[in-house]
Structure 1
Amino acid sequence: MHATAGSLALFVFPFVLLLCFLLYWAGARHAYQTRPVAAAGDPDAYDWHFFVPCRDEETVVGTTVSRLRGDFPAGHVWVIDDDSDDATGAIVTAHAEADPYVHLVQRRRPHARTGKGAALNSAYDALDKFLPTDADRSRVIVCVLDADGRLAPDALTTVSGPAGFGDPQTGGVQVTVRMRNADDRTPLPGHGRLRNALARLLVRVQDMEFTVSNTGMQLLRNRTGSAGLGGNGQFTRLAALDRIAAAERRPWQRGALLEDYELGLHMILSGYQVRHIADTWVSQEGLPHLRRLLTQRTRWAQGNLQCVRYAPRVIASRHFRARGVLETLYTFLQPVAHLVSLVVTGVLLGLLLVDEDRAAVLEQTADIWPLPAGLAILSIGPFVLWGPVYRRMRAAGRSRLTGLLWGLALWLYAYHLFPVSARAFVRLLRGRTGWAKTRRNAEPVTAGTAVAIEH
C-alpha cells in the first residue's frame, strides 16, 4: 500500500506543479494585459540620490555618472567603490572634483568586498551624514542602479506619480528592466556567425524574460501586495529605509545574495507598500555567455532559498494579505520545486528502466498519446504566447512568426532553472556563499575580476 501511495504521489506531483504554474501564468498575463497607465507626477517634489555600487567598473562607470548627471541634473550620484583593483575610484574622483553632485564612497579591505548589501549600507550612512538634520526624509528618494544601468529619461516623472511615491504608503518602486543589447548583431565580436547567432538569441530571451514575463509577474504581485525590488532600477523612500534600519540595524542585510528582494520583504513587513511600474524602464547589458548567465542565476536561486527563512514572519505579518502570503511562498519555493521536479523525473525514469514490463508500459503510453500531447501544449503554450506580446512591445517590425519562435526559445531557455536550482541547493548545503564578480561584456579578464566575495 505504501508503495502504491508513493507511486501515486510521484505521478500526481507534476500535475500539481503544472496547475500552480498555469494559475500563476494566467494571473500574470491578465495583470499585464489589463494594467493601467501610470500617471505622471512631479519629480521636483522630491530629492533624488542615485546609489551606484561598483567594483572594477572602469569600463562603464564614467559613462554612467555622466549620463545620470546629464539626464537628471538635480540628482546626486553616490558611487560606492568597493576597493576596486582598476581605475574606478580615480575616474569617480575626477568627476567629484568637477561636480559637487557627484560623491565617492570609498571602501577598503578588510571591510570592503563583503557583498552588495554592505556597500549600499555604506552609501546610506554617507547620505545620512550629508543631509541636514531637518531634511524631510519622506521626500528623499534613493535609486539603486547597476554600474552599467541607464534610466529612461521619464523615470523620475513616472515614479513620482500616484502609482509610485505620490502615495505616501509607497516605500519602494521597481521599474521594468530591459536588455540594452537585445538588437546587437555581434554580441561576441571576433567570433563566428553561429556563436553570435546563439549569443543574440540568449540576449533576446533575457530581454523577453524581463520585459514581459517578469513584468507580468510583478504586476500580479502589485495586486497581491507582494511586489519585489530588483537590484537595478530600484527606488526607495529614505524614511522607509530608516524604519527598516531601526528594526534590522541596517537597511540592506549583510551576506544576502538576493539583497534587493530581501529589502522589499523588509519594506512590506515594516508597513510600506512596494510597487512595480511597467511604464518606464532601466536598461542593462544582457549576458551573451551561457556560463556567466548560469553563474548569475545560481546566485539568484541561492538567494531565493536563503529568503525561505522569512516565511514564518510573512505568514504572521498583518501587512501581508492572504493572497500575498501565497504568492510569496510560491516565489520562495520555486527553486525547491525545480529541484524536486528533477528528483521525481529521475525516479520515474529509473523505475521505467528497471521495470521488466517497460515495453508494455511504453505501449500503454502510446495508446494514451493525447494526454502527454495535451500536457506538452499546456507546458509550452504559456511561454510561446509571451512571444507575440514581446514582439508588439519591443520589436514591432519583426514578423509574427518570429514572435512565436522567440516564445518557443523562451520555453527552452526556462530549462536553465533546473540546473541552477540544483547547484544553488548544493552550494547552500556546503555553506558556500562566495561569488566572483560578473564581468561586463566589454571588460577584459584580469586577476581582479576573479576574486570571490565571501560573506
Structure 2
Amino acid sequence: MSASDSWLIVVAGYALLLAWPVSTVVLVWFALRYSGTHRAKTVNRSVAGGDGRPQHFWIIVPALNEEAVVANTVGAALKLRGPAGTLSRVLVVDDGSDDRTPEVLAAIDHPRLHVMRRDLPEARQGKGEALNAAFRHISRLTAEAGVAADRVVVGIIDGDGQGSENILVEVSRLMRDERVGAAQVQVRIRNRNKLLGAVQDLEFGAIVDACQNLRDALDTVGLGGNGQFSRLSTLQTLGSAPWSSCLVEDLELGLRMHLGGVAIRYTSRASVTQQAVVDVRRLTRQRTRWAQGNMQCARYLGRLAASPRVARIALAEMLHYLLSPWANAIVTVVLIGTGIAGLGGLLVGHPISFLPTWVALAESGGVWLAVTTFPGVLWALVHKRKHGDERTARMLTAALAYPAFLILGLAATYRALGRQASGRQGWAKTERLAEEPLAVTA
C-alpha cells in the first residue's frame, strides 16, 4: 500500500469518526434553539388557525399479559381530559391474555372504559392486528353515533404507558389545523433510578426529542409505538387495517401517511412515560426487533424518492433514518477491522503504515474514546436544561455509559440482519415491572 493510499484511509477513517460528534453539535444547537420545554418557554412551531379541533378522543391500550401494569395504565388514561366539550374514552384490547389481565380489567368499574377481548385464533397476531381490531370497533361506533370521523382522534398508549395531564389538550391544539392528520408526543422513562433506565431516558428525553423536533421542522415526523394520536378519518383513508404486521408498525404507519400527504406534528409540551427495559438481554432483544423493523421499512425508499409529496430535504432525513442501521453495521466493521489490523501488525512486527507504532495506536484509541464519549456528555447537559428532573451526576453517569449502550445497539443490528436474512419474524413481548397501584377516579 502506497503512502498516499494510507493517508486516504486515515482521512476517511477520521471523517467517519468525526461525523457523529459534528452532527451531534448541530442537533444539540437545534434542540436548545428550537425545541419546547416543560419548565420554561416553549418555541415549537406555531399552529395555523382552523376549526379542526377534535370532539372525541379514544385511547387504545393494547394489552397482552399486562397484569403487572394495566390497572395503573388504565387509571392514568381515564384521568386524561381534553378541552371543554370533548369526550374521552379508553378502549383496552385484551389480545388473548392468559395471566390475570382479564380479572384486573373486570375489577375496574368506569363508564368511560371499554374492554375488547380477542381470543384465539384471532388474538396474538401482533400489536398491529390488535390495533386494527380496535380501529374497526371505533369506526363502527362512530358511524352509529353519527359523529364525523375527522372530529375523532385515536391515541395509542402502551400497556405500561401513562400520559401527562395535558396530553389531550396539547393534541387538540395541534389538530386545530385541519391539515394535521396525526401527532406524536414526547416519550420519557419512569423507572430511571437504575443506570439502564437513566440511559434510556437520556435517549428518549434528549436525543429522540431533538430529532423529532428537527423532523417537525422538516415535516418528516415519525410516529412512535407509544403516544401517537391520529384522526380517525386519516386512519380510514388507509383501509380497514391501517397498522401492518411490520415489527415497527408505528414507523410504517407514519411512512404511509407521509406518502399520502398527511401532515404529522410533534410536540415536547406533552409526554407519555413508559418503563425502561433494565435487563441487558431483554433490552438487546427489544432493540433487535426495532432494527429489524427499520430494515423491513426500507422497502418504502423507492416510493418515498418518487413521491412528489416528499420534499428533497425531508427525503434525505428519512433516508438517513431508514438506512442508519445498515450504515452503522458497515462502519463498525471498518473501524473494528482497522483496530485489529493495527494491533495485529504491531504484535507480529509488521505494522500497517497508518498505525506504525504503539504510540500511534494508543493515540488513535484515545481519539476514539473521546469522540464516542463527547456526544453523550452533551446530551446529558441538554437533558438537564430541558427537564431539570434528574441530578447532574446521574445524567453524566448515564452519558459515560452511553457508548456501551450504543455498542449493545450495534450488536442488536447484527442480530437483526441475521434474523431478516433467515426470514425470522416472531417475537416475545417485553416483560413489565410491577408498580405501586394508582387510584382510579370516576
2:243 corresponds, among 252, 259, 268, to: 252
Once structures 1 and 2 are overlaid, which stretch shifts more, 389-398 or 290-299?
Answer: 389-398
Q: Distance in 2 between matches of 1:369 and 1:10?
A: 18
Partner of 1:70: 79
Measured after TM superposition, the shift of residue 396 of structure 1 is 5.4
Classify the secondary structure of the residue corresponding to 1:314.
helix
Measured after TM superposition, the shift of residue 398 of structure 1 is 2.7
Identify the match of residue 130 of structure 1 among 135, 141, 161. 141
1:311 aligns with 2:306: no
Secondary structure in 2 aligned to 1:34? helix
| Counterpart residue type for residue 433 of structure 1 | Q
- Change in Cα spacing, 1:116 to 1:369, as seen in structure 2 (3 Å) is same
Per-residue deviation, 1:350: 5.0
Counterpart of 1:154?
A: 166
Equivalent residue pairs, number: 417
Q: Distance in 2 between matches of 1:250 and 1:202?
A: 35
Match of 1:408 among 359, 378, 400: 400
Instruction: Please tell me the residue identity of whatever aligns with 2:143.
Output: P
Picking from 130, 134, 154, the partner of 1:119 is 130
Shift of 1:13: 5.3
2:389 aligned with 1:389: no
CA distance in 1, matches of 2:334, 2:420: 21
Aligned equivalents of 1:300, 1:45: Cα separation in 2: 31
Structure 2 equivalent of residue 197 of structure 1: none
Contact 2:298 2:323 in 1 (8 A): yes
Distance 1:9 1:113, change over 3 A: farther
Is this contact kept in 2: 1:89–1:104, CA < 8 A?
no
- Equivalent residue for 1:225? 219
In 2: Cα distance, 1:250 partner to 1:330 partner: 28
Taking the aligned partners of 1:13 and 1:140, their CA distance within structure 2 comes to: 52
Q: Are 1:56 and 2:65 an aligned pair?
A: yes
User: What secondary structure does 1:118 align onto?
Assistant: helix
The C-alpha deviation readout for 1:89-133, integer Å capped at 9, x for no partner, is 3433454xx434222222122221111111100000111111135
- State the alpha-carbon separation in 1 of the partners of residues 4 and 91 from structure 2: 59
1:79 aligns with 2:71: no
Structure 1 partner of 2:313: 323
**Unpaired stretches in structure 1, ≥5 consecutive residues:** 184-199, 444-455
Deviations 1:175-213 (A, max 9, x none): 111111123xxxxxxxxxxxxxxxx11111111110001
Task: Tell me which residue corresponds to 1:283.
Answer: 273
Looking at structure 2, the residues matched to 392 and 139 of structure 1 have their Cα atoms a distance apart, in angstroms, of: 37
1: CA distance, partners of 2:11 / 2:177: 45
Corresponding residue for 2:438?
none
Separation of aligned partners in 1, 2:373 and 2:397: 12
How far is 1:26 from its partner? 3.5
Q: What is the alpha-carbon distance in structure 2 between the residues aligned to residue 49 and residue 438 of structure 1?
A: 24
Task: Report if the CA contact (8 A) 1:28-1:219 is conserved.
Answer: no
Task: Spell out the pairing of 1:266-281 with structure 2 (5 A cutoff).
Answer: 266-281=256-271
Is the alpha carbon distance of 1:68 and 1:242 closer, same or farther for their aligned partners in structure 2, counting shifts above 3 Å? same
- Tell me: CA distance 1:370–1:56, structure 2 relative to 1, closer, same or farther (3 Å): closer
Superposed counterparts of 1:135-284, under 5 Å: 135-161=147-173, 164-183=174-193, 200-245=194-239, 250-253=241-244, 255-284=245-274
**Residue aligned with 1:148, SS:** coil
C-alpha RMSD of the superposition: 2.9
Assess if the C-alpha contact under 8 Å between 2:80 and 2:168 holds in 1. Answer: no
| Equivalent pair of 2:160/2:275 in contact (CA under 8 Å) | yes
Residue type at the aligned position of 1:213:
I
Distance 1:305 1:6, change over 3 A: farther
Relative to structure 1, is the Cα distance of residues 45 and 257 closer, same or farther in structure 2, using a 3 angstrom cutoff? closer
> Counterparts of 2:181 and 2:3 in 1: how far apart (Å)?
51
Question: Offset at 1:418?
Answer: 1.1
Q: Separation in 2 of the partners of 1:239 and 1:258? A: 22
Q: Normalised by the size of structure 1, how large is the TM-score?
A: 0.83
CA change 1:388–1:136 in 2 (3 A) is: same
Match for 2:93: what amino acid?
Answer: I
Whether the 8 Å contact between 1:10 and 1:344 is mirrored in structure 2 is no
The AA in structure 2 aligned to 1:222 is D
Q: Is 2:418 the partner of 1:426?
A: yes
Per chain length, whose mean CA-contact separation is higher, i.e. which structure has more relative contact order (CA < 8 Å, sep 6+)?
2
Deviations 1:3-51 (A, max 9, x none): 9999788656544544543454234223311225257999984210001
Please say which of residues 419-428 and 61-70 is displaced more in the overlay. Answer: 61-70
Identity of aligned residues (%): 34
Q: Deviations over 1:262-306 (max 9, x none)?
A: 111111111111121111110111122111111111100110111
Is the 2:59–2:155 contact (alpha carbons within 8 Å) kept by the matching residues of 1? yes
Match of 2:116 among 100, 105, 124: 105
Shift of the alpha carbon at 1:382?
1.8
SS at match of 1:142: strand
Question: 1:447 aligns to what?
Answer: none
**Worse-matched range after superposition: 61-70 or 21-30:** 21-30
- For structure 2, the residue ranges without an aligned partner over 5 or more in a row are 37-41, 436-442
In 2: Cα distance, 1:289 partner to 1:379 partner: 23
Q: How many Å separate the matches in 2 of 1:6 and 1:243?
A: 55
**Contact 1:388/1:407, CA 8 A, preserved across alignment:** no
Give the structure-2-normalised TM-score: 0.85
